[in-house]
Amino acid sequence: MNNVLVVYKKSAYEIYKASSDIDVVKFVSSDCSDAVSIRQSHDVQMRSLDSVLSVLSAKHINFDSTYRADITANKLLDKNLVISVGGDGTFLEVSHYVKDTLLLGVNSDPEKSTGFFCCSNTYNFADNAYNFEYVIDNIENTEKVKRTKLARMELKLDGKILPELVLNDILVAHQSPAANTRCRLITPYDTIGHKDIIEHKESGNLEHKGSGILVCTAAGSSAFMYNEEGSIMDLSASHFEYIERGVRNAQPHFAEELTLTSLTRALCIFIDGHHLKYDFPLGKELYVTKGQPLNVIGDLEEKRK
**Domains and their CATH numbers in the chain:** 4-145 (3.40.50), 152-291 (2.60.200.30)
Closest-CA residue to 204 (of 249, 251, 255, 144) = 255
The average confidence (pLDDT) of the chain is 91
Reported as a single tens digit per residue, the pLDDT across 69-89 is 999 888 888 899 999 999 999
Residue 124 has pLDDT above 60, yes or no: no
Reported as a single tens digit per residue, the pLDDT across 89-99 is 999 999 999 99
Please list the alpha-helical segments (H only) found in 185-241: 224-227
Reported as a single tens digit per residue, the pLDDT across 167-218 is 999 999 999 999 999 999 998 765 555 555 555 455 678 899 999 999 999 9
Reported as a single tens digit per residue, the pLDDT across 237-295 is 999 999 999 999 999 999 999 999 999 999 999 999 999 999 999 999 999 999 999 99
Strand order in the sheet with 267-271: 253-255, 240-245, 212-216, 169-174, 267-271, 276-280
Q: Which amino acid is at 272?
A: D
d(CA 116, CA 109): 12
Closest-CA residue to 132 (of 148, 143, 145, 142) = 145
